Amino acid sequence: MKRKVFFKGIKDGIPIALGYLAVSFTLGIAARKVGLGAFAATLMSFTNNTSAGEFAALSLIGAGSSYAEMALTQFVINARYMLMSCSLSQKIPKETPIWKRMLLGYCITDEVFGVSYAYPGKLDTLYSYGAMLLPAVGWSLGTFLGVVLGNVLPQRILSALGVALYGMFIAIIVPPAKKNKVIAGSVIVSMAMSWAFSVTPVLKNISSGFTIIIITLVVAGAAALIFPVEEEAADEA
């Protein structure tokens, strides 16, 4: 019975792992560009498992930013995991021991959280461990291959693979935006602000990490003030 739950997780993790493999390959290429070796880049992916956070980290490393800026950027970009973590704390049985909760923390990525939250009834943490197994391998392996093979592939293919991550982001933001006008508005305003920051003389000198922090605080803060979310809606997202 226990084994069945674990293997169900593994099965649901297969498509996630394939997606991660493609995206982390481009992450590996980006890591190589800022001077990271295969070991450092793979270690980063194995210990972080966060596409947005790692890409932002690479630009900070490339720019030689301070450690404080790195910590703050990771905190803001990955703050969404806090909400997921809060949601999952309600989804697992109360008596779940702390070591199982700590291991479950490692499994909170956008996609593995998604399938875990969709698990019927109370969540058996074994399911999430199974669902995270292949994606974690795929994410680290893809990063490694990206660093090692990145320069073997022609520029045209690299250019095409470079948009895989953005395609994945779009796949995450568009479906909820379709159903919710506030999210749709937030998406459009955020993109417009991000574009404005990239072309306005003084603003474009601000590092990309801080630009994202500023936009997130302003837009998500304003949306939360003007359109507070009812409990039910927040649980579903």
Question: Least distance to other proteins from the beta carbon of 217, Å?
Answer: 9
Nearer to other proteins, 3 or 155 (CB): 155
Distance of CA 113 to CAs 6, 31, 171, Å? 15, 26, 15
> Hey, what are 221's tokens?
């803060």
Question: Least distance to other proteins from the beta carbon of 94, Å?
Answer: 7
Nearer to other proteins, 155 or 205 (CB): 155
Question: Least distance to other proteins from the beta carbon of 38, Å?
Answer: 12
Question: Least distance to other proteins from the beta carbon of 149, Å?
Answer: 16
Nearer to other proteins, 28 or 186 (CB): 186
Which amino acid, residue 203? Answer: L
Nearer to other proteins, 4 or 181 (CB): 181
Nearer to other proteins, 65 or 150 (CB): 65
Nearer to other proteins, 5 or 172 (CB): 172
Question: Least distance to other proteins from the beta carbon of 2, Å?
Answer: 21
Question: Least distance to other proteins from the beta carbon of 51, Å?
Answer: 9
Question: Least distance to other proteins from the beta carbon of 89, Å?
Answer: 5
Nearer to other proteins, 4 or 86 (CB): 86
| Range 173-200 burial, b when 16+ CB lie within 10 A, else e | beeebeebeebeebbeebeebeeebeee
